[in-house]
Amino acid sequence: MSNNTTERGSFTTKLGVIAATVGAAVGLGNIWKFPYTAGVNGGGAFIIVYLIFVLFLGLPLIMSEFFIGRNTGQNPRGAFRTLSKIKSWQAFGLLCFICPILILSFYSVVAGWTAEYLWLSVSGDLTGKSAQELSSLFQGFSQDPVRPIIWMILFLILTISVSLGGIKNGIERVSNILMPVLFLILLILAGRSLLLEGAAEGLRFMFQPDFSKITSKVILDAMGQAFFSLSVGMGALITYASYFKKETNLPQTAVIVAILDTTVAILAGIIIFPAVFTFGISPAQGPELVFITLPNVFNQMTGGQLWSILFFFLLAVAALTSTISMSEIVVTYMMEEYKLSRKKILLGLFVVCSILGSLCSLSLGVMNDIRILGRDIFSLVDFTASNILMTLGGASIVIFVGWFVNKEIIYQEMLQGSKMKRSFFAMYYYTVKYIAPVGLITILLSQFGLI
């Protein structure tokens, strides 16, 4: 693998494709963000809206990004240039470049938290503490001006070192082995959580929707969460699919990714909500929810410390496979569009993300007074990326694929490596052409207060 040219590798095996794509999709979004966003938004009603978005927007978007990426074999900007002569579509490329940088910045902060919790698990500092003590422990840590930033920077260094090794060696090997292990651990933890006293209440909170709770904020948050979790709307999957082979079955891979990603999110909910109600924690606690809930569960388990170590290790790995793919998107983009070397790009990315990430981290503690549009910096960066840029990106992708690309080209690409039925294709196509754009534009307009 050469580092300084734009020479492209590709994924080697079918399982490798799925494992790596799932590795990019499954991450802190499923295990940290989904439960707390569901909690803040009242549980069941949010989850129903979320599932509708996964099916009607998420899945068609995954397929569309796969189509664009594999058909052109290029980064998002190059891909749009190849498929359409209209120059303004390339502006989309810029979005695909800014979005992962913003996400990587606040994501690394939370990834750093998982590293701290892994450390605390190993040292035994989480063992034997009450729910109250665990809560103040997290507050103290996350508001500290130094410690979370050190972890964040270490995490960024790790990400960038793996990225330096190139796509095949780094991502594929790690995620092939560890993703299934993570899944297994989640199943075991879900089983344990369901034995807790608060299990029934937790499940009711998740699965008994109170439709009066659906507000425009719930809808927006559910969509932002669906996009974030599936990694759609920012060209990530265009970049990934540009490394797919012609034999890769696009519709099937898309369905598998959507199902696995959603399963992991729901499993995380099944682990967390029973514990929330058992230990008297508020489900609407916010970003700290996972970090103050799970150590309580581990404390109740035989061999809890070992489970805790295993869990935070795997969560850190899940975060790592996601941060690697974010950095890979930026690298592919800059290498192909600006002919810069991998090393230079990664160095630049490190500097930018360390600064922005530090600001995000500090905004939870000493810089909490600084509010922009009513938000602290951390949640502003998250909101800009997940709710504004990804919605814009998603709208661009469906409008582009539905209205600016010849339908037959899309169908033929989908048929490579699959036996997609015409009727399934028709359903996909009409969703992309009509339903998704109308839905996304409505949401965007309401976001800006225009309707």
Q: By the 8 A CB rule, do 335 and 127 touch?
A: no
Distance of alpha carbon 297 from alpha carbon 253, whole angstroms: 34
- 403 C-beta neighbours (distance < 10 Å), count: 10
Distance of alpha carbon 54 from alpha carbon 222, whole angstroms: 9
Q: Which is nearer to ligand TRP, 234 or 317 (CB)?
A: 234
* DSSP 8-class letter at 233: S
Q: What angle do CA 197, 225, 143 make, to 5 degrees?
A: 70
Residue 229 binds to ligand TRP (criterion: CB under 6 A): yes
Binds ligand TRP by CB under 6 A, chosen from 17, 18, 19, 27: 27
Least Å distance between CB 85 and ligand TRP?
28
Binds ligand TRP by CB under 6 A, chosen from 262, 322, 379, 384: 322
- 138 C-beta neighbours (distance < 10 Å), count: 21
Run of H or E including 230: helix 216-230
Least Å distance between CB 23 and ligand TRP?
9
Q: Which is nearer to ligand TRP, 322 or 358 (CB)?
A: 322
Q: By the 8 A CB rule, do 134 and 281 touch?
A: no
Adjacent-strand bridge partners of 372: 375
Q: What residues from 377 to 396 belong to the interface with ligand TRP (CB under 6 A)?
A: none
What are the tokens at 281?
A: 């924690």
Residue 28 binds to ligand TRP (criterion: CB under 6 A): yes
What are the tokens at 375?
A: 């938000």
Residue 109 binds to ligand TRP (criterion: CB under 6 A): no
Q: Which is nearer to ligand TRP, 220 or 234 (CB)?
A: 234
Q: Which of 374, 169, 196 is nearest to 271 (CA)?
A: 196
Stretch that binds ligand TRP, among 22-30, 53-61, 206-214, 251-259 (CB under 6 A): 22-30
Least Å distance between CB 299 and ligand TRP?
26
- 161 C-beta neighbours (distance < 10 Å), count: 12
Distance of alpha carbon 414 from alpha carbon 435, whole angstroms: 20
Q: At what angle do helices 147-164 and 304-338 cross, to 10 degrees?
A: 60
Q: Which is nearer to ligand TRP, 98 or 367 (CB)?
A: 98
Binds ligand TRP by CB under 6 A, chosen from 156, 236, 297, 349: 236
Stretch that binds ligand TRP, among 58-66, 68-76, 230-238, 335-343 (CB under 6 A): 230-238
Q: What residues from 324 to 343 belong to the interface with ligand TRP (CB under 6 A)?
A: 325-326
User: Binding mask 271-310 vs ligand TRP (x if CB under 6 A, - otherwise)?
Assistant: ----------------------------------------
Q: Provide the sign of the torsion angle of the four alpha carbons 104, 110, 111, 116, taken in this order.
A: positive
Least Å distance between CB 276 and ligand TRP?
21
Residue 74 binds to ligand TRP (criterion: CB under 6 A): no
Least Å distance between CB 24 and ligand TRP?
4
Binds ligand TRP by CB under 6 A, chosen from 18, 20, 24, 174: 24
Binds ligand TRP by CB under 6 A, chosen from 21, 71, 75, 231: 231
Q: Which is nearer to ligand TRP, 135 or 386 (CB)?
A: 386
Residue tagged 């890769």 (tokens):
248
Least Å distance between CB 290 and ligand TRP?
13
Stretch that binds ligand TRP, among 117-125, 291-299, 322-330, 436-444 (CB under 6 A): 322-330
Residue 103 binds to ligand TRP (criterion: CB under 6 A): yes
Kindly determine how many residues on this chain lie close enough to bind ligand TRP according to the rule CB under 6 A.
16
Q: By the 8 A CB rule, do 209 and 49 touch?
A: no
Distance of alpha carbon 250 from alpha carbon 99, whole angstroms: 24
**Secondary structure class of 208 (helix, strand, coil):** coil
Closest CB to ligand TRP belongs to which residue?
29
Q: Which of 82, 80, 102 is nearest to 91 (CA)?
A: 80
Residue 262 binds to ligand TRP (criterion: CB under 6 A): no
* DSSP 8-class letter at 105: H
Least Å distance between CB 178 and ligand TRP?
15
Q: Which of 355, 343, 349, 347 is nearest to 323 (CA)?
A: 349
Residue 42 binds to ligand TRP (criterion: CB under 6 A): no
Q: By the 8 A CB rule, do 160 and 327 touch?
A: yes
Q: Which is nearer to ligand TRP, 114 or 231 (CB)?
A: 231
Interface with ligand TRP by CB under 6 A: which residues? 24-25, 27-30, 100, 103, 228-229, 231, 234, 236, 322, 325-326
